[in-house]
Structure 1
Amino acid sequence: MNFEDNEHLAPNMYYDRHFEKEAVKIMPGEYYVTTGDKLIVTVLGSCVAVCLRDKVTHCGGMNHFLLPNDGSNESGLLTESARYGVYAMELLINHLLKLGASKSRLEAKVFGGGNVLRGLTLNNVGQRNAEFVLDYLHNESIPIVAQDLLDDFPRKVYFFPDTGKVMVRKIKSVHNTTIFDRETEYRMRVKYTPKSGDVDLFT
Protein backbone atom coordinates (compact mmCIF):
# COMPACT_ATOMS: atom_id res chain seq x y z
CA MET A 1 0.00 0.00 0.00
CA ASN A 2 1.54 3.25 -1.11
CA PHE A 3 0.34 6.06 1.11
CA GLU A 4 2.42 8.57 -0.84
CA ASP A 5 -0.31 8.56 -3.45
CA ASN A 6 -3.23 10.80 -2.58
CA GLU A 7 -5.74 8.18 -3.58
CA HIS A 8 -6.05 4.45 -3.12
CA LEU A 9 -7.91 1.40 -4.33
CA ALA A 10 -11.20 1.58 -6.27
CA PRO A 11 -9.91 1.28 -9.85
CA ASN A 12 -13.23 2.32 -11.42
CA MET A 13 -12.49 5.89 -12.46
CA TYR A 14 -14.51 7.90 -14.97
CA TYR A 15 -15.57 11.42 -15.86
CA ASP A 16 -19.03 12.32 -14.56
CA ARG A 17 -20.59 14.53 -17.21
CA HIS A 18 -23.49 15.58 -15.02
CA PHE A 19 -21.28 17.00 -12.27
CA GLU A 20 -18.42 17.79 -14.69
CA LYS A 21 -15.95 16.17 -12.34
CA GLU A 22 -13.51 13.25 -12.19
CA ALA A 23 -15.25 10.46 -10.32
CA VAL A 24 -14.45 7.13 -8.69
CA LYS A 25 -16.97 4.33 -8.25
CA ILE A 26 -16.33 2.01 -5.32
CA MET A 27 -17.62 -1.54 -5.28
CA PRO A 28 -18.41 -3.82 -2.30
CA GLY A 29 -15.26 -4.37 -0.24
CA GLU A 30 -13.45 -1.31 -1.62
CA TYR A 31 -12.67 2.13 -0.26
CA TYR A 32 -11.23 5.35 -1.64
CA VAL A 33 -9.60 8.42 -0.13
CA THR A 34 -8.53 11.67 -1.72
CA THR A 35 -7.18 15.12 -0.96
CA GLY A 36 -8.34 16.39 -4.32
CA ASP A 37 -11.52 17.52 -6.03
CA LYS A 38 -12.91 14.11 -6.92
CA LEU A 39 -16.40 12.69 -6.65
CA ILE A 40 -16.78 9.29 -4.93
CA VAL A 41 -19.81 7.23 -5.94
CA THR A 42 -21.26 3.93 -4.79
CA VAL A 43 -24.50 1.96 -4.98
CA LEU A 44 -25.75 0.33 -1.77
CA GLY A 45 -28.24 -2.38 -1.03
CA SER A 46 -27.79 -4.15 2.30
CA CYS A 47 -24.19 -2.91 2.48
CA VAL A 48 -23.26 0.28 4.28
CA ALA A 49 -20.97 3.11 3.29
CA VAL A 50 -19.25 5.53 5.63
CA CYS A 51 -18.13 8.92 4.31
CA LEU A 52 -15.40 10.40 6.51
CA ARG A 53 -13.95 13.89 6.14
CA ASP A 54 -11.51 16.10 7.99
CA LYS A 55 -13.33 19.42 8.16
CA VAL A 56 -10.05 21.39 8.23
CA THR A 57 -7.87 19.69 5.61
CA HIS A 58 -10.90 18.67 3.49
CA CYS A 59 -9.41 15.23 2.76
CA GLY A 60 -12.03 12.54 2.81
CA GLY A 61 -12.94 9.05 1.81
CA MET A 62 -15.66 6.43 1.60
CA ASN A 63 -15.81 2.69 2.19
CA HIS A 64 -18.42 0.10 1.20
CA PHE A 65 -18.74 -3.07 3.24
CA LEU A 66 -21.03 -5.70 4.68
CA LEU A 67 -20.76 -7.89 7.76
CA PRO A 68 -20.80 -11.62 7.01
CA ASN A 69 -23.31 -13.63 9.02
CA ASP A 70 -21.25 -15.57 11.56
CA GLY A 71 -24.25 -17.46 12.89
CA SER A 72 -24.01 -15.62 16.19
CA ASN A 73 -26.71 -13.69 17.98
CA GLU A 74 -24.11 -11.61 19.76
CA SER A 75 -23.91 -7.88 19.26
CA GLY A 76 -21.17 -5.32 19.61
CA LEU A 77 -17.67 -4.98 18.21
CA LEU A 78 -16.18 -8.23 19.49
CA THR A 79 -18.01 -10.79 17.34
CA GLU A 80 -16.10 -12.48 14.55
CA SER A 81 -18.50 -10.95 12.06
CA ALA A 82 -17.90 -7.44 13.37
CA ARG A 83 -14.15 -7.80 12.83
CA TYR A 84 -14.75 -7.37 9.10
CA GLY A 85 -16.46 -4.06 9.72
CA VAL A 86 -13.72 -2.93 12.11
CA TYR A 87 -11.12 -3.79 9.47
CA ALA A 88 -13.02 -1.84 6.79
CA MET A 89 -13.23 1.18 9.09
CA GLU A 90 -9.58 1.00 10.11
CA LEU A 91 -8.43 0.92 6.48
CA LEU A 92 -10.36 4.09 5.75
CA ILE A 93 -9.35 5.96 8.92
CA ASN A 94 -5.69 4.96 8.79
CA HIS A 95 -5.34 6.10 5.19
CA LEU A 96 -6.96 9.45 5.98
CA LEU A 97 -4.52 9.92 8.87
CA LYS A 98 -1.64 9.21 6.47
CA LEU A 99 -2.94 12.01 4.25
CA GLY A 100 -2.85 14.50 7.12
CA ALA A 101 -6.30 14.13 8.62
CA SER A 102 -6.75 14.31 12.39
CA LYS A 103 -9.04 11.77 13.99
CA SER A 104 -10.38 14.43 16.36
CA ARG A 105 -11.61 16.44 13.35
CA LEU A 106 -13.27 13.61 11.44
CA GLU A 107 -16.98 13.81 10.72
CA ALA A 108 -19.05 10.92 9.40
CA LYS A 109 -22.03 10.53 7.12
CA VAL A 110 -23.44 7.00 6.91
CA PHE A 111 -25.73 5.33 4.40
CA GLY A 112 -27.21 2.00 3.39
CA GLY A 113 -28.35 -1.05 5.30
CA GLY A 114 -31.47 -1.47 3.20
CA ASN A 115 -33.60 -4.60 3.33
CA VAL A 116 -33.04 -5.39 -0.34
CA LEU A 117 -31.36 -8.82 -0.52
CA ARG A 118 -34.00 -11.41 -1.27
CA GLY A 119 -33.99 -14.36 1.09
CA LEU A 120 -31.96 -12.56 3.74
CA THR A 121 -34.78 -10.73 5.50
CA LEU A 122 -34.77 -13.04 8.50
CA ASN A 123 -31.08 -12.39 9.11
CA ASN A 124 -31.66 -8.62 9.28
CA VAL A 125 -28.49 -8.13 7.23
CA GLY A 126 -29.06 -4.46 6.53
CA GLN A 127 -30.06 -3.68 10.10
CA ARG A 128 -26.99 -5.46 11.50
CA ASN A 129 -24.74 -3.45 9.22
CA ALA A 130 -26.42 -0.18 10.17
CA GLU A 131 -26.20 -0.95 13.90
CA PHE A 132 -22.54 -1.85 13.60
CA VAL A 133 -21.67 1.46 11.91
CA LEU A 134 -23.52 3.52 14.50
CA ASP A 135 -21.95 1.61 17.40
CA TYR A 136 -18.45 1.81 15.93
CA LEU A 137 -18.53 5.54 15.30
CA HIS A 138 -20.01 6.16 18.76
CA ASN A 139 -17.25 4.11 20.40
CA GLU A 140 -14.60 5.96 18.38
CA SER A 141 -16.11 9.38 19.26
CA ILE A 142 -16.52 10.28 15.58
CA PRO A 143 -19.64 12.47 15.23
CA ILE A 144 -22.29 11.47 12.69
CA VAL A 145 -23.50 14.63 10.99
CA ALA A 146 -25.86 12.93 8.52
CA GLN A 147 -27.33 9.48 7.98
CA ASP A 148 -29.77 7.64 5.75
CA LEU A 149 -30.07 4.03 6.91
CA LEU A 150 -32.45 1.05 6.56
CA ASP A 151 -35.59 1.28 4.37
CA ASP A 152 -36.38 -1.12 1.52
CA PHE A 153 -34.61 0.53 -1.40
CA PRO A 154 -31.09 0.53 -2.81
CA ARG A 155 -29.30 3.89 -2.78
CA LYS A 156 -26.84 5.64 -5.02
CA VAL A 157 -24.52 7.84 -2.97
CA TYR A 158 -22.47 10.77 -4.31
CA PHE A 159 -19.78 12.10 -1.94
CA PHE A 160 -17.84 15.32 -2.59
CA PRO A 161 -14.94 15.16 -0.07
CA ASP A 162 -13.66 18.66 -0.80
CA THR A 163 -16.93 20.24 0.39
CA GLY A 164 -18.37 17.40 2.47
CA LYS A 165 -21.59 17.42 0.45
CA VAL A 166 -23.41 14.11 -0.04
CA MET A 167 -26.28 13.45 -2.41
CA VAL A 168 -28.38 10.30 -2.07
CA ARG A 169 -30.78 8.92 -4.64
CA LYS A 170 -33.19 6.13 -3.67
CA ILE A 171 -33.51 3.56 -6.44
CA LYS A 172 -37.19 2.64 -6.19
CA SER A 173 -37.40 0.88 -9.55
CA VAL A 174 -34.71 -1.74 -10.13
CA HIS A 175 -34.68 -3.07 -13.68
CA ASN A 176 -32.11 -5.81 -13.22
CA THR A 177 -30.44 -7.90 -10.54
CA THR A 178 -27.00 -6.26 -10.68
CA ILE A 179 -27.11 -4.79 -7.17
CA PHE A 180 -28.44 -7.99 -5.63
CA ASP A 181 -26.00 -10.22 -7.51
CA ARG A 182 -23.02 -7.99 -6.66
CA GLU A 183 -23.77 -7.90 -2.94
CA THR A 184 -24.61 -11.61 -2.76
CA GLU A 185 -21.33 -12.50 -4.47
CA TYR A 186 -19.42 -10.16 -2.16
CA ARG A 187 -21.18 -11.58 0.90
CA MET A 188 -20.18 -15.13 -0.06
CA ARG A 189 -16.61 -14.05 -0.81
CA VAL A 190 -16.25 -12.41 2.60
CA LYS A 191 -17.92 -15.32 4.38
CA TYR A 192 -15.37 -17.82 3.08
CA THR A 193 -12.29 -15.61 3.30
CA PRO A 194 -9.80 -17.05 5.81
CA LYS A 195 -9.97 -15.17 9.08
CA SER A 196 -7.00 -12.94 9.83
CA GLY A 197 -5.54 -12.10 13.22
CA ASP A 198 -6.99 -9.73 15.74
CA VAL A 199 -7.63 -6.16 14.69
CA ASP A 200 -6.43 -3.31 16.88
CA LEU A 201 -9.15 -0.86 17.83
CA PHE A 202 -8.32 2.82 17.94
CA THR A 203 -7.74 4.39 21.33
Structure 2
Amino acid sequence: MNSDDNLIGRELERSAQVIMPGGWAVERERPVATLLGSCVAVALYDPAVKLGGLNHFMLPRFERVAGRDDVDALLAGDYSMEALLNAMLVRGAKKARLVAKAFGGGMVVSSLDRSQIGQRNVEFARDWLGREGIPLVASDFLGHCSRKVVLDPRSGDVFCKRAASSLAISQRIESQEQVYAASLAQPPKKSNIELF
Protein backbone atom coordinates (compact mmCIF):
# COMPACT_ATOMS: atom_id res chain seq x y z
CA MET A 1 0.00 0.00 0.00
CA ASN A 2 1.53 3.33 -0.99
CA SER A 3 1.18 6.61 0.96
CA ASP A 4 -1.79 7.78 -1.16
CA ASP A 5 -3.57 4.51 -0.41
CA ASN A 6 -2.81 4.97 3.30
CA LEU A 7 -4.39 8.44 3.24
CA ILE A 8 -7.47 7.23 1.40
CA GLY A 9 -7.80 4.22 3.73
CA ARG A 10 -7.57 6.43 6.84
CA GLU A 11 -10.18 8.85 5.48
CA LEU A 12 -12.57 6.00 4.71
CA GLU A 13 -11.96 4.43 8.11
CA ARG A 14 -13.05 7.60 9.91
CA SER A 15 -16.56 7.43 8.46
CA ALA A 16 -16.86 3.64 8.24
CA GLN A 17 -19.51 1.47 9.76
CA VAL A 18 -17.57 -1.05 11.89
CA ILE A 19 -18.72 -4.65 11.95
CA MET A 20 -17.82 -7.12 14.67
CA PRO A 21 -17.55 -10.94 14.53
CA GLY A 22 -20.82 -12.33 13.21
CA GLY A 23 -21.61 -9.02 11.50
CA TRP A 24 -22.13 -7.99 7.91
CA ALA A 25 -23.19 -4.85 6.05
CA VAL A 26 -24.21 -3.93 2.50
CA GLU A 27 -23.74 -0.30 1.45
CA ARG A 28 -23.70 1.99 -1.58
CA GLU A 29 -22.00 5.03 0.00
CA ARG A 30 -20.76 4.47 3.54
CA PRO A 31 -17.49 2.52 3.97
CA VAL A 32 -17.49 -0.67 6.03
CA ALA A 33 -14.57 -1.73 8.25
CA THR A 34 -13.53 -4.59 10.51
CA LEU A 35 -10.54 -5.84 12.50
CA LEU A 36 -9.42 -9.43 11.88
CA GLY A 37 -7.26 -12.00 13.59
CA SER A 38 -8.00 -15.63 12.77
CA CYS A 39 -11.41 -14.59 11.44
CA VAL A 40 -12.05 -13.98 7.74
CA ALA A 41 -13.84 -11.10 6.05
CA VAL A 42 -15.15 -11.37 2.50
CA ALA A 43 -16.06 -8.29 0.46
CA LEU A 44 -18.50 -8.71 -2.42
CA TYR A 45 -18.91 -6.03 -5.07
CA ASP A 46 -21.22 -5.54 -8.05
CA PRO A 47 -19.64 -2.91 -10.34
CA ALA A 48 -22.80 -2.38 -12.40
CA VAL A 49 -24.88 -1.12 -9.47
CA LYS A 50 -21.92 0.06 -7.35
CA LEU A 51 -22.95 -1.98 -4.34
CA GLY A 52 -20.55 -3.51 -1.84
CA GLY A 53 -20.85 -5.74 1.18
CA LEU A 54 -18.51 -7.05 3.85
CA ASN A 55 -18.87 -9.78 6.47
CA HIS A 56 -16.77 -11.10 9.37
CA PHE A 57 -16.93 -14.75 10.42
CA MET A 58 -15.08 -16.72 13.11
CA LEU A 59 -15.63 -20.37 12.13
CA PRO A 60 -16.06 -22.15 8.79
CA ARG A 61 -19.30 -23.97 9.57
CA PHE A 62 -22.16 -23.72 12.04
CA GLU A 63 -22.46 -26.69 14.36
CA ARG A 64 -25.60 -26.85 16.45
CA VAL A 65 -24.98 -27.53 20.13
CA ALA A 66 -27.63 -29.41 22.11
CA GLY A 67 -29.64 -27.01 24.24
CA ARG A 68 -28.10 -23.92 22.60
CA ASP A 69 -30.58 -22.72 20.02
CA ASP A 70 -29.58 -19.09 20.64
CA VAL A 71 -26.01 -19.38 19.32
CA ASP A 72 -25.37 -16.79 16.62
CA ALA A 73 -25.15 -18.78 13.38
CA LEU A 74 -23.71 -15.74 11.57
CA LEU A 75 -20.41 -16.38 13.35
CA ALA A 76 -20.01 -19.28 10.92
CA GLY A 77 -18.92 -18.80 7.33
CA ASP A 78 -21.65 -20.97 5.82
CA TYR A 79 -24.38 -18.75 7.29
CA SER A 80 -22.47 -15.49 7.05
CA MET A 81 -21.71 -15.91 3.34
CA GLU A 82 -25.33 -16.77 2.53
CA ALA A 83 -26.58 -13.75 4.52
CA LEU A 84 -24.17 -11.41 2.73
CA LEU A 85 -24.95 -12.80 -0.73
CA ASN A 86 -28.71 -12.65 -0.17
CA ALA A 87 -28.49 -9.07 1.14
CA MET A 88 -26.55 -8.08 -1.98
CA LEU A 89 -29.12 -9.72 -4.27
CA VAL A 90 -32.06 -8.06 -2.47
CA ARG A 91 -30.41 -4.64 -2.99
CA GLY A 92 -30.07 -5.18 -6.77
CA ALA A 93 -26.79 -7.04 -7.27
CA LYS A 94 -26.60 -9.91 -9.77
CA LYS A 95 -24.60 -12.97 -8.82
CA ALA A 96 -23.03 -13.21 -12.29
CA ARG A 97 -21.46 -9.73 -11.85
CA LEU A 98 -20.10 -10.19 -8.33
CA VAL A 99 -16.41 -10.21 -7.55
CA ALA A 100 -14.85 -10.98 -4.18
CA LYS A 101 -11.89 -9.87 -2.12
CA ALA A 102 -11.07 -11.75 1.08
CA PHE A 103 -8.80 -11.21 4.07
CA GLY A 104 -7.75 -12.69 7.40
CA GLY A 105 -6.97 -16.10 8.80
CA GLY A 106 -3.96 -14.82 10.70
CA MET A 107 -2.42 -16.67 13.62
CA VAL A 108 -2.43 -13.88 16.20
CA VAL A 109 -4.16 -15.55 19.14
CA SER A 110 -1.92 -18.29 20.55
CA SER A 111 -4.82 -20.31 21.98
CA LEU A 112 -6.31 -20.63 18.49
CA ASP A 113 -3.09 -21.57 16.66
CA ARG A 114 -3.37 -25.23 17.61
CA SER A 115 -6.77 -25.64 15.96
CA GLN A 116 -5.59 -23.91 12.77
CA ILE A 117 -8.89 -22.04 12.72
CA GLY A 118 -7.43 -19.33 10.48
CA GLN A 119 -6.36 -21.87 7.85
CA ARG A 120 -9.78 -23.57 8.01
CA ASN A 121 -11.55 -20.20 7.60
CA VAL A 122 -9.42 -19.38 4.55
CA GLU A 123 -10.08 -22.77 2.95
CA PHE A 124 -13.80 -22.38 3.58
CA ALA A 125 -13.90 -18.89 1.98
CA ARG A 126 -12.04 -20.05 -1.13
CA ASP A 127 -14.19 -23.19 -1.48
CA TRP A 128 -17.46 -21.30 -0.98
CA LEU A 129 -16.61 -18.64 -3.56
CA GLY A 130 -15.49 -21.34 -6.01
CA ARG A 131 -18.74 -23.30 -5.58
CA GLU A 132 -20.80 -20.14 -6.08
CA GLY A 133 -18.81 -19.13 -9.18
CA ILE A 134 -17.76 -15.78 -7.68
CA PRO A 135 -14.19 -14.88 -8.70
CA LEU A 136 -11.76 -14.07 -5.89
CA VAL A 137 -9.88 -11.16 -7.46
CA ALA A 138 -7.73 -10.21 -4.45
CA SER A 139 -6.83 -11.71 -1.10
CA ASP A 140 -4.49 -11.34 1.84
CA PHE A 141 -4.52 -14.45 4.02
CA LEU A 142 -2.66 -16.16 6.87
CA GLY A 143 0.60 -15.10 8.47
CA HIS A 144 1.23 -13.79 11.98
CA CYS A 145 -0.51 -10.45 11.65
CA SER A 146 -3.86 -8.88 12.34
CA ARG A 147 -5.59 -6.87 9.65
CA LYS A 148 -7.77 -3.80 9.52
CA VAL A 149 -9.98 -3.99 6.43
CA VAL A 150 -11.97 -1.09 4.96
CA LEU A 151 -14.34 -1.50 2.00
CA ASP A 152 -15.25 1.51 -0.17
CA PRO A 153 -18.60 0.42 -1.66
CA ARG A 154 -18.56 3.22 -4.25
CA SER A 155 -15.53 1.77 -6.04
CA GLY A 156 -15.20 -1.77 -4.70
CA ASP A 157 -11.70 -0.93 -3.44
CA VAL A 158 -10.69 -2.66 -0.23
CA PHE A 159 -7.86 -1.32 1.89
CA CYS A 160 -6.07 -3.82 4.10
CA LYS A 161 -3.61 -2.68 6.71
CA ARG A 162 -1.51 -5.39 8.34
CA ALA A 163 -0.32 -4.99 11.90
CA ALA A 164 2.49 -7.05 13.33
CA SER A 165 1.24 -9.46 15.91
CA SER A 166 2.10 -7.55 19.04
CA LEU A 167 0.90 -8.65 22.43
CA ALA A 168 -1.42 -5.62 22.69
CA ILE A 169 -3.09 -6.28 19.33
CA SER A 170 -3.40 -9.99 20.03
CA GLN A 171 -4.98 -9.26 23.40
CA ARG A 172 -7.43 -6.77 21.87
CA ILE A 173 -8.57 -9.25 19.22
CA GLU A 174 -8.70 -12.12 21.70
CA SER A 175 -10.69 -9.93 24.11
CA GLN A 176 -13.25 -9.00 21.43
CA GLU A 177 -13.66 -12.63 20.45
CA GLN A 178 -13.95 -13.77 24.09
CA VAL A 179 -16.53 -11.08 24.94
CA TYR A 180 -18.64 -12.17 22.01
CA ALA A 181 -18.27 -15.87 22.88
CA ALA A 182 -19.20 -15.13 26.52
CA SER A 183 -22.32 -13.27 25.39
CA LEU A 184 -23.36 -16.38 23.51
CA ALA A 185 -22.89 -18.53 26.61
CA GLN A 186 -25.42 -16.46 28.57
CA PRO A 187 -29.00 -17.74 28.57
CA PRO A 188 -31.33 -15.48 26.60
CA LYS A 189 -33.13 -12.85 28.65
CA LYS A 190 -36.71 -13.68 29.55
CA SER A 191 -39.25 -11.54 27.78
CA ASN A 192 -42.80 -10.58 28.58
CA ILE A 193 -43.56 -10.76 24.88
CA GLU A 194 -45.49 -13.80 23.79
CA LEU A 195 -45.01 -14.89 20.20
CA PHE A 196 -47.97 -16.47 18.42
Using the size of structure 2 for normalisation, the TM-score is 0.76
Find the partner of 1:26 among 16, 19, 23: 19
Shift of 1:64: 0.3
Distance 2:62 2:86 in 1: 26
In structure 1, the residue matched to 2:139 is: 147
In structure 1, the residue matched to 2:113 is: 121
In structure 2, the residue matched to 1:196 is: none
In structure 2, the residue matched to 1:105 is: 97
What percent of counterpart residues are identical? Answer: 41
In structure 1, the residue matched to 2:79 is: 87
Distance 1:56 1:17 in 2: 23
**Contact 1:40 / 1:158 at 8 angstroms: preserved in 2?**
yes
- Give 4+ residue runs of structure 1 displaced > 3 Å after superposition: 68-71, 184-193
Mark the runs of 5 or more structure 2 residues left unpaired by the alignment. Answer: 1-7, 64-72, 188-196
Distance 1:189 1:117 in 2: 19
Q: CA RMSD in A?
A: 2.9
Find the partner of 1:180 among 174, 177, 187: 174
**Contact 1:46 / 1:116 at 8 angstroms: preserved in 2?**
yes
In structure 2, the residue matched to 1:4 is: none
In structure 2, the residue matched to 1:3 is: none
**1:25-70 alpha-carbon deviations (Å, 9 max, x no partner):** 11111001012x2111110000000000101111111000111788
- Does 2:39 correspond to 1:56? no
Distance 2:51 2:62 in 1: 34
Mark the runs of 5 or more structure 1 residues left unpaired by the alignment. Answer: 1-15, 72-80, 194-203
> Could you tell me which amino acid in structure 2 is paired with residue 114 of structure 1?
G
Using the size of structure 1 for normalisation, the TM-score is 0.74
**Contact 1:69 / 1:191 at 8 angstroms: preserved in 2?**
no
SS in 2 for 1:60: strand
Shift of 1:167: 1.0
**Contact 1:45 / 1:183 at 8 angstroms: preserved in 2?**
no
Q: Which has the higher helix share?
A: 2
Point out the structure with max Rg over C-alpha. 2
Shift of 1:173: 5.4
Shift of 1:118: 1.6
**Contact 1:48 / 1:64 at 8 angstroms: preserved in 2?**
yes
Aligned residues between the structures: 169
- Does 2:57 correspond to 1:65? yes
- Tell me whether 95-104 or 182-191 shows the greater mean CA deviation: 182-191
SS in 2 for 1:116: coil
